[in-house]
Structure 1
Amino acid sequence: MKLQYQLTAAFTSLLVIIMSLAGITIYSLILNLLIQDEQRQLQDNGELLVNILRQDYNVANIQRLSQLLEEQDMQMFAYDQFTNQLLLTTLPISTVQEWVETYDLNSDKQPLWKAGNEQYVVSRIALYPDSPGTQLVFATPLDDLQAVQKTFIVRLLLVLVIGMIVAILLSHFLTKRLVTPLTRLRHQLKKIEKRQFDDLNEIEASGEIKEVEHSVLEMAQELERYIQTQRHFFQNASHELKTPLMTIQGYAEGIRDGIFVEEESDRGLDVIVEEIKRLKKIINEMILLAKLDSEEDIYEEELIKIDNLLKLTVERALPLANEKDKSIHVKNLAPTSLTVYADKGKLLQAMMNVVTNAVRHAFSTVVISAVQGEGAQVTITVEDDGEGIAEDIIPHLFQRFVKGEGGETGLGLAISRAIIDRSGGEISVGKSTLGGAKFTIIF
């Protein structure tokens, strides 16, 4: 069943239950209200008649009063308890005698009196308050009130039914407005499933649905970017792997066929060995990147001192710097109290990739610094005095197989970013005041 029909059905069921309970409650209360209202009317009429009798109480007036009661269809009787005499009545004498024998004429605790199979609502008034012996008893058949009750209930049910129909129609309209954006959002998700990213459009919605729609669009953009990155990765990977393989194949076939002999053969074997090493390095870095993206337990986190991390980095990068006749300087070293929680080996590898990259591109100097920022924030910078990075490469520098001039595999900085991201940090690149590139790592 569609969500719209489920919501409408749920709202209708709830409305029916509430209306039914309200109807039952009203039905049970309305008769009591009618009885109380009828007693008040009988009391008012009785007091009016009592006032008339008190002004001129004689037999002639009582007879005229009896005729008036018959004409007004009022049911009552007057009874003198002292003499046990029925003074007047518009009710059957047998009914009055039964009531006099059964009920206490001086008590107001019984509003309903029975006469055979019928019930009457009664109200009692003393003709003389100082002498309650003479009682006027007014009665109304309960059937008359029940007829009024049924008429009221029928009208109430009619109003409830009309109200329910209006409420159901309004509910259907509101749920349609609620469900329609969800239906369109489902179509958007189907397009994402089929990778039709260019066909995605914003939907008219508000509140949480609009927030979900924004999240879906952001997810689609991120998914599209990821798919494009993966496509470029496989294209670049195939290209990077194909180049050394073609070199190896060419020299191997030349040696086998006798094209390369003696010194050329030895040189070809050296090239093959170097290309195999390069190919092995590319494959190892690709495997590491895959593990960094997919395996959670590859990280063994521990508390690392920042100053110790930088010292280890410089010690390992110094041989390459000496080989290329370049210097590494460390300044603004962070206090020994500053630490970061990460995998020490992998974070050292990330730092080495950044520093050796700076050493290769520097003219003479690489500067490393670490300073404490706001709160517990630590900022590490690696700068060089080289030519810097081309503007068109900077936005893509940390992507896989993106290499600047003089780059090796194009995976080193991608590995550094993956490790730093997993360590809860951020890495970015810009221009240095020394003239070259400036890598900034923030923990």
Structure 2
Amino acid sequence: MKLLYQLNAAFAMLLIIIMSVTAFFIYTLLLDMLIKDEQQELQENGEFLLNIMYEEESVPTGPLLASLIGNDDFRVLFFDPEHNDILFSTLPKDIAKQWSQVFEKDEPHKTLWKSGEDTYVTTKIPYQYNGKFYLLIMATPLEELRSLQSVFAIRMIVIFIIGIFVAVLFSYILTNRLITPLSQLKREVKKVKNRQFDAIERIHAEGEIGEVEQSVFEMAKELERYIETQKQFFQNASHELKTPLMTIQGYAEGVKDGVFKGEAADRSLDVIVKESERLKKIVNEIILLAKLDSEEGIYTRDFVQLSELVEQTRERLLPVANDYHVSMEINILEDATLQLDQEKVLQALINIGGNGIRHAHQAVTLTTYKQRHSYVIEVADDGEGIAEDLLPQLFHRFVKGKSGETGLGLAISRAIIERTGGTIRVYNREEGGAVFEVRLPL
């Protein structure tokens, strides 16, 4: 069942239950209210009759009461309790006779009196005239009140039915307005599931649904970028792996078939070894990237001195710098103790520093300082800088410059720094050369 119908069915069922319970209690209490009101009205009418007789100072007789009652549909019994003398009655004779014998002026009065199969709502009013006591009994059949109760109950049921219908109608309209964006959102989520990113459409919604819609849209865009990146990654990975494999295969077949002999065969074997090492390096870096993206336990945080980390980077890169005839300089403006994975961050800095060495003319400088809520490590070279069109993609996988190796080093560095909670960016200096800026949290 659709959510729209489920919500409306649940609301209608809840409304029916509430209305039914309310109607039951109202119906139950209604008869008591009618009896109480009727007794009060009988009391007022009886007192009104007796007041008129008292004001006229007349002997209470049947004809006088009959003239006062007129055409009013009263059940009246007026009698002398001492002599059981009935002066006036509009009740059936047997009931009038029975009541004249059982009613006493000092007796506690009962609201309901049953005579045979009939039950009456009664009130007893004493009256004194010329030293004699009389009793006026006003009565109404309970069946008449039950008839009123039934009429009221029918009207109440009709009103409740109309109210339920109107409430369910409004509920359907409001729920439909609420569910429609959800249905549209469900359709768009299916497009995300089927990777139909170009067919995704924005929906107009407010409140929490609007926030969910915005999150779904952003998730779809991010997923699209991720899938596109993965496609590009596998294409580049296959290309990078294919090149050394083809080289290895070519030289191996040449040696096998006798194309390369003597020194040529030795050089071929050297090429095979170098390409195998290059292939191994690419595979190891791909595995490392996968671990950095997925595994939480790969990071082991510890307290590390920033100056010590920079000095270790210099020591590791010094042999490479000597090969390129480039000097390594350190400038510690501010030192600090940070909590991070020393080996992983050291690897990131080595990748960045090695990239700077390959492009530097004379020197690579490592500078540390504090800025706002982070510590900055700058790795600057004095080379020609990075091509402007390459800057936005420099940290992407398999993106290489002129003298790049696997195209994975800077991607690994970015993954490590971001998993540490920091950021990394690169820009060109006006005086020449590139600057890699690594920000680490306090």
For 1:409, the equivalent position in structure 2 comes to: 406
Give, in whole Å, the separation in 2 of the partners of 1:161 and 1:410: 74
1:218-239 Cα offsets, whole Å, 9 max, x none, are 1111111111111111111111
| CA deviation after TM superposition for structure 1 residue 208, in Å | 1.4
Task: Indicate how the Cα distance of structure 1 residues 368 and 39 shifts in structure 2: closer, same or farther if over 3 A, else same.
Answer: same
Task: Indicate how the Cα distance of structure 1 residues 420 and 126 shifts in structure 2: closer, same or farther if over 3 A, else same.
Answer: same
| CA deviation after TM superposition for structure 1 residue 424, in Å | 1.8
What are the within-5 Å matches in structure 2 for residues 304-343 of structure 1? Answer: 304-336=304-336, 338-340=337-339, 342-343=340-341
Listed as ranges, the gaps of 5+ residues in structure 2 are: none
For 1:400, the equivalent position in structure 2 comes to: 397
What are the within-5 Å matches in structure 2 for residues 169-184 of structure 1? Answer: 169-184=169-184
- Matching of residue 347 in structure 1 with residue 345 in structure 2: yes
1:179-222 Cα offsets, whole Å, 9 max, x none, are 22222212112211221110000112222111111111111111
Give, in whole Å, the separation in 2 of the partners of 1:109 and 1:308: 104
For 1:221, the equivalent position in structure 2 comes to: 221
For 1:269, the equivalent position in structure 2 comes to: 269
Helix, strand or coil for the counterpart of 1:138?
strand
Give, in whole Å, the separation in 1 of the partners of 2:132 and 2:411: 108
| CA deviation after TM superposition for structure 1 residue 80, in Å | 3.4
Aligned residues: 440
For 1:94, the equivalent position in structure 2 comes to: 94
- Matching of residue 255 in structure 1 with residue 259 in structure 2: no
* Residue pair 2:81, 2:104 contacting (<8 A) in 1 also: no
What are the within-5 Å matches in structure 2 for residues 136-285 of structure 1? Answer: 136-285=136-285
For 2:48, the equivalent position in structure 1 comes to: 48
1:48-95 Cα offsets, whole Å, 9 max, x none, are 211111023434754232354363221112233455543322223432
Helix, strand or coil for the counterpart of 1:37?
helix
* Residue pair 1:382, 1:440 contacting (<8 A) in 2 also: yes
For 1:121, the equivalent position in structure 2 comes to: 121
The code of the aligned residue for 2:94 comes to: S
* Residue pair 2:307, 2:332 contacting (<8 A) in 1 also: no
* Residue pair 1:69, 1:75 contacting (<8 A) in 2 also: no
* Residue pair 2:378, 2:435 contacting (<8 A) in 1 also: yes
| CA deviation after TM superposition for structure 1 residue 173, in Å | 2.1
Among candidates 395, 418, 421, match of residue 424 of structure 1: 421
For 1:441, the equivalent position in structure 2 comes to: 438
1:29-52 Cα offsets, whole Å, 9 max, x none, are 211221222122222212221111
| CA deviation after TM superposition for structure 1 residue 124, in Å | 2.7
Query: Quick one: percent identity of the two aligned structures?
Result: 49
Give, in whole Å, the separation in 2 of the partners of 1:47 and 1:38: 14
For 2:375, the equivalent position in structure 1 comes to: 378
Task: Indicate how the Cα distance of structure 1 residues 204 and 181 shifts in structure 2: closer, same or farther if over 3 A, else same.
Answer: same
* Residue pair 2:59, 2:129 contacting (<8 A) in 1 also: no
| CA deviation after TM superposition for structure 1 residue 260, in Å | 2.8
The code of the aligned residue for 2:415 comes to: A
Helix, strand or coil for the counterpart of 1:71?
coil
Helix, strand or coil for the counterpart of 2:403?
coil
The code of the aligned residue for 1:346 comes to: K
- Matching of residue 9 in structure 1 with residue 6 in structure 2: no
Task: Indicate how the Cα distance of structure 1 residues 410 and 94 shifts in structure 2: closer, same or farther if over 3 A, else same.
Answer: same
CA RMSD between the two structures: 2.4
1:281-320 Cα offsets, whole Å, 9 max, x none, are 1111111112222323222233333232222212211221
1:245-269 Cα offsets, whole Å, 9 max, x none, are 2222222233333333333333222
Task: Decide which moves more: 185-194 or 85-94.
Answer: 85-94
Listed as ranges, the gaps of 5+ residues in structure 1 are: none
Give, in whole Å, the separation in 2 of the partners of 1:132 and 1:181: 85
Give, in whole Å, the separation in 1 of the partners of 2:327 and 2:268: 35
| CA deviation after TM superposition for structure 1 residue 243, in Å | 1.5
1:133-178 Cα offsets, whole Å, 9 max, x none, are 4332211111111111111110111111111112122222222222
TM-score under structure 1 length normalisation: 0.92
Give, in whole Å, the separation in 2 of the partners of 1:241 and 1:381: 33
Task: Indicate how the Cα distance of structure 1 residues 356 and 103 shifts in structure 2: closer, same or farther if over 3 A, else same.
Answer: farther
Give, in whole Å, the separation in 1 of the partners of 2:130 and 2:123: 19
* Residue pair 1:307, 1:333 contacting (<8 A) in 2 also: no
For 1:389, the equivalent position in structure 2 comes to: 386
Task: Decide which moves more: 56-65 or 394-403.
Answer: 56-65
* Residue pair 2:380, 2:434 contacting (<8 A) in 1 also: yes
The code of the aligned residue for 2:397 comes to: R
Helix, strand or coil for the counterpart of 2:77?
strand
1:404-432 Cα offsets, whole Å, 9 max, x none, are 22111000011111112222222222233
Give, in whole Å, the separation in 2 of the partners of 1:412 and 1:64: 120
* Residue pair 1:126, 1:132 contacting (<8 A) in 2 also: no
Give, in whole Å, the separation in 1 of the partners of 2:43 and 2:15: 41
Give, in whole Å, the separation in 2 of the partners of 1:231 and 1:107: 102
Give, in whole Å, the separation in 1 of the partners of 2:200 and 2:22: 49
| CA deviation after TM superposition for structure 1 residue 322, in Å | 2.3
